[in-house]
Amino acid sequence: MTGAERKYVAVEKRGDRTYRYLRYKGRRIPLVSDPNSSDFEEEYQAALAAASRPLRLQQVAADSTPRSIQQAVDQFLSDPETADVCAAWKRERKNAFAPLLERIPDENLRDLKWKHIKAVRNKHFRTPVTMNRFVNVMQAFMNWAVDNEIVEFNPIPRGKKAKLKENTESHEPWSDSDVANFRDHWPVGTSERLAFELIACTAARCANAVKLGRTNIHGSNLVFKPVKDGDEVSVPISDDLRDALGERVNSQYFIRGRWEHSPKNAASLSQLISDAAKLAGLQTGRTAHGIR
């Protein structure tokens, strides 16, 4: 089915140009993607969802509404409701916005489409983990913009994540130079450094490491029960791990998932370590298993 044949899609021709709109429940939302592309279907579904919601009862004052992407990002990062997160997440969030702001800082936020976000993701982020991290940040940002009535709908389709690659590499043990190079590349404060130090200190499998948090701290030790072995173990917290934990020492989970109080899953942690090792210039085969 072409874009013109979609239900509620109106086509207008002005000279040699053709314009398409979604007309539904008194709403008129422009559709700008090629009607024969997959982007059009995503844009159509997002517009249909937006048109199904009730019209806003109040309009935000024009002088307080950010127009450009740069203005909206600045307001998002300074909003008290979104600013109350750990320092590491603040840094990751700010870094995720950097390539978008470098590319289109002055564009109106209401003109930001999924195709623009996808183009930035594919060009500036090299691994599935970093791609998904960028999309997660953009999801939170656009949901905030909807809640604050800056835009009418979030253009990012749900479930649009880069697939994690199946790890077929051998588990080569890390050498002292591998460890030194990894630490040089990933400073304290990054998720990659924290993940490495947690596994290096505890020798835990990824399935165990993702579940560790403040409740596992007993004095100066980390106490947990391995998934496979079953016998409880107690491991002294190394200075390197203590430095890497920083503010996260009081978190429910040291390595968080998409949300602050949810854990990362074992597969994504393993992928995070493998991708981080490659970006640090380590040889092929340096995986989370090889750290233990």
**Rounded average pLDDT over 12-39:** 78
In CATH terms, the superfamily for domain 176-291 is: Intergrase catalytic core (1.10.443.10)
Residue 11 β-bridge partners = 20
Bridge pairing between strands 233-236 and 221-224: antiparallel
Label residue 118 by pLDDT band (50, 70, 90).
confident
Sorted by sequence, the CB contacts under 8 Å of residue 107 that are 6+ apart come out as: 68, 69
Poorest-pLDDT segment among 102-116, 156-170, 199-213, 268-282: 156-170
Spell out the CATH class of 64-147: mainly alpha
**Residue 168 pLDDT:** 46
The encoded tokens of residue 65 equal 């509404």
- Average pLDDT of the residues of the chain: 79
- Residues 137-157 have pLDDT tens digits of 898 898 888 888 888 888 888
Phi/psi for 186 (5° steps) reads -110, 100
Q: Does the pLDDT value for residue 132 go beyond 70?
A: yes
**Residue 57 pLDDT:** 35
- Residues 219-263 have pLDDT tens digits of 888 988 887 666 788 888 888 899 998 888 888 888 876 555 556
DSSP E strands in 25-138: the ranges are 27-31
Label residue 63 by pLDDT band (50, 70, 90).
very low
Q: What is the pTM of this model?
A: 0.47
Of 235, 241, 137, 231, give the one whose Cα is nearest residue 188.
241
DSSP 112: -
Phi/psi for 284 (5° steps) reads -60, 140
**Residue 30 pLDDT:** 79
**Rounded average pLDDT over 186-191:** 89
Find the radius of gyration of the CA atoms of the chain.
23
How much of the chain exceeds pLDDT 90, in percent? Answer: 2
Label residue 131 by pLDDT band (50, 70, 90).
confident
**Residue 184 pLDDT:** 92
